[in-house]
Amino acid sequence: MFAALFGELVLHQRLDTEGEASQDAYSLFYARSSAMHWLTPAVQGASGGLWGMNDAEAAPDSGPRRSRVAFFQVVLTEPNLRKLLPVQPFLTCAGDVMARLGTLRLEAVQVLLPERDADEDAQFASPSGARVASSLLDACHWFADCDPRARTAVRVTLDAGADPSIRTRASAILHWAREVRQEVFACDSLSLADDDHLILRPIPFQTAPAGPHRVTFRGILAEWSLDALGWLAAFLADGTSRHGINSQLMLTANRTANTQLAK
């Protein structure tokens, strides 16, 4: 998995004035992953954990809005392709690292989701029989008491690269997202129009999806945080796989204006 964070990063004053810090994004992500038992030790025959460390980097950027200020890359070590992608802990860990380094004003996020089958541990989550990963429903309670004022309108683009099925099944995915009983993400609409898609560059890998098969969902997220965005990415990955889309996906998301929230 790969995640890139776009926005503005202001380093803590002590890091700005004391020269080179003793820890960087890589070492902090490694330490936090290990402390939370998310890291699989880099030794032969190691077990446990969710991922192995690959790379990470964070630095202030003086470029335009939506400049990339950090990225994190891990290798999934869980061999079972029928388990939920651990995007929520992955992005939560990235958020913890950024908070150690400074103040992040997050404008957008980009997440590369690997090929995955539908989570076999699923529950019926609607009167019509929609199924969803059990752990996603359990995690909903974490966001149950979010301040209603924190609700945020978001745009989420899924890019499946050369796989056209993302477009033909997008309406079914929208219906599924609306049917599932959860209050973290209220999906309002779907668009296949090129002008509505969010495309963040640089795209990290040449093998990453590069269109033209993209769809964009809009809706209301419980809060604008890497924690909630991680849940949303895992939710949409679960939904796409349940509709037969098993290809690699690039998910990008940003906040959008919504006058309904102000009422």
pLDDT of residue 115: 86
Residue 261 neighbours by CB under 8 Å, 6+ apart: 151, 152, 153, 220
Tell me the pLDDT tens digit for each residue of 157-202. Answer: 999 988 999 999 999 999 999 999 899 999 999 999 999 999 888 7
CB atoms within 10 A of CB 28: 21
Q: What's the predicted TM-score (pTM) here?
A: 0.90
What lies within 8 Å, CB to CB, of 155 at 6+ separation is 196, 198, 216, 217, 218, 253, 254, 255, 256
- On the question of pLDDT at 226 being above 60, the answer is yes
Mean pLDDT of 115-126: 76
Q: Give residue for tokens 């070492």.
A: 27
SS3 131: strand
What is the SS3 assignment for 9? strand
Cβ burial, residue 115 (10 Å; 0-12/13-18/19+): exposed
* Residue 133: strand pairing partners: 122
